[in-house]
Amino acid sequence: MLNISQQQKLLQKLSPQQIQYLELLQLPVLALEQRIKTELEVNPLLEEGQELEQEQAEDNQEQVETAAAESSEENAQDNNSTENDYSIEDFINDDTSGYKTQYSSNDDFEELPQPAKVSMVEQLRQQLGMLHLDTEEHILAEEIIGNIDEDGYLRRDLSGIVDDVNLTYEWDLTLQQAETILYKIQRLDPPGIGSRSLQECLLVQLEVLETESEEKKIAKVILEKLYDEFTRKHYDEIIKSLGIDREQLRIALDIIKRLNPKPGEGTIDESQNYVTPDFLVQKVEDEFVVTLNDRSVPPLRINKSYRDIISRKKRNAASSETRDFIRKKFEAAKWFINSIHQRRETMLKVMRAIIELQYDFFEHGEEHLRPMIYKDVAERIEMDISTISRVVNGKYVQTDYGVYELRYFFSESIETQNGDGISNKHVKRLIKEIIESEDPNKPFSDDKIAAMVRERGINIARRTVAKYREQLHIPVARLRKKL
């Protein structure tokens, strides 16, 4: 049986404007540029450029005339006025009709051009001509090269590549043919490219070394027959198995260490290895000044031509459908500009709060970083923790001591023996210094490191040392041992 009932619920929903603001808030400066370009493409009322003084004067004069006309018109209107009588001037008279960056056009800024570079795949394809392959082998070689990843390894099964080529061209290539071609590819420049394991990569590079010595032969035996002992640094077992002395083993290991474990990495691309900071912090006299790095963010404004179409003076010049379309696009452009304004104000507010809470860091450097969590900043500026998280995520700040991710300034507190709190980043730095100063023949265990940290007045357990060591990408004591 159906029943009709009433329920009262308390719901919290975000408006489209709020959702857009939150999306823009978590974007770093480079992603914001792309987001603005996309919005400029889909909204004809939004355009780049700053409001000109002449245009602003004309708008002010038009608003005065419109206000006079409205006063008489509103007296004649009744309560049944339709949506088509809606005035866009209600939106125009707003100080957020345009968005300007904080940099002037006179700023000296020049982006250096990047030199053209040939990719690793193209370099390998250019070298295929030296292998004297027939048509079928050449196509198979290109297919193999196309499956090499950015580290220079062939992660895909070779039989699968052969099956794809045979299915596409209706050929009958064998796995043995593919192995022969792969053997030749691995000895192109850089040697070891296309290897299927680190062991295979090192053996290929060792093979093409021009120098010949007894230690090179020892290195080859180690990689071929004692690879597990080599990776675990069981040096005594290697010495016993090969009947060599420690000096011969040291020279052989030096030869292996000079080999490249990632032949596909090549040189660093400057365009992919550059961090664009979202904030610039400089000390001017006795205070820190925060600047939002939106130099490359274009100034935005509402297109005046479209705006005039639905103004009161030209209302009859366009159909109602046209005015409705332009009105919707106008509101979307207005919300977008307002969201960018709000994003800028929120980001500056969060960054200033971080400086106030981490003043000693910005004044004296990394050693003075204090424990801080999102809640500390949220309470200081009276915002939600989720807002702080969005601002911090993926953003960087340039300081006098280098460029730091905003997440760097947030850390847990470790209690000292006198009851004070210290940042866990300071403890990590201390652990790293202890490990760097250890005897490579007898590296410290985690228990020993924990005891040495406690001697400096910091309460810490062995498992905490192990966790921080792993976060620093430092191996266990057994793997840090050197000859």
- CA 388, CA 383: separation in Å to the nearest integer? 8
% of the chain residues with pLDDT over 90: 52
Closest CA to 119 of 150, 85, 79: 150
pLDDT tens digits along 326-348: 888 888 889 999 999 999 999 99
pLDDT at 10 over 70: yes
Specify the pLDDT at position 15. 77
Domain count, the chain: 3
Residue with the two structure tokens 């009161």: 312
* Average per-residue pLDDT for the chain: 83
371 shares its domain with 292: yes
pLDDT at 56 over 80: no
In a domain, 79, yes or no: no
Q: Are residues 382 and 464 in the same domain?
A: no
pLDDT on residue 64: 45
Domain shared by 447 and 321, yes or no: no
SS3 state of residue 6: coil
In the predicted model, is pLDDT for residue 85 greater than 60?
A: no
Do 274 and 405 fall within a single domain?
yes
Report yes or no on 388 lying in a domain.
Answer: yes
Asked whether residue 21 carries a pLDDT value surpassing 80, the answer given is yes
Query: CA–CA separation, 188 vs 120, rounded Å?
Result: 11
pLDDT class of 315 with cuts at 50, 70, 90: low
- Mean pLDDT is lowest, of 37-41, 56-60, 265-269, 403-407, for 56-60
Q: What is the structure's pLDDT at 322?
A: 81
Residue 483 to residue 479: CA distance in whole angstroms = 12
When pLDDT is averaged across residues 103-116 and rounded to a whole number, the result is 53
pLDDT, residue 306, reads: 78
Rounded Cα distance, 222 and 242, in Å: 9
Selected residue with higher pLDDT from 100 and 452: 452
Residues 277 and 232 in one domain: no
What is the tens place of the pLDDT at every residue in 446-473?
A: 999 999 999 989 999 999 999 999 999 9
Residues 42 and 161 in one domain: no
Give the whole-angstrom CA distance, residue 92 versus residue 269.
46
Other CB atoms within a 10 A radius of the CB of residue 334 amount to 20
Percent residues over pLDDT 70 in the chain: 82
Rounded to whole angstroms, the Cα distance separating 263 from 120 reads 10
Q: Is 402 contained in some domain?
A: yes
| pLDDT score of 82 more than 60 | no
249 and 292 belong to one structural domain: no
Residue range 355-385, pLDDT digits in tens: 999 999 999 888 888 999 999 999 999 999 9
Residue 247 and residue 124 share a domain: yes
* pTM, rounded to two decimals: 0.64
Domain extent for 439: 414-480
> Do 142 and 233 belong to one domain?
yes
CATH of the domain at 429: 1.10.10.60
For residues 380 and 457, state if they share a domain.
no
Residues 388 and 431 in one domain: no
The residue that leads in pLDDT, 322 or 405, is: 405
Q: Give 7's pLDDT tier (boundaries 50, 70, 90).
A: confident
Question: From start to end of 167-302, where are the E strands?
Answer: 279-284, 287-292, 300-302
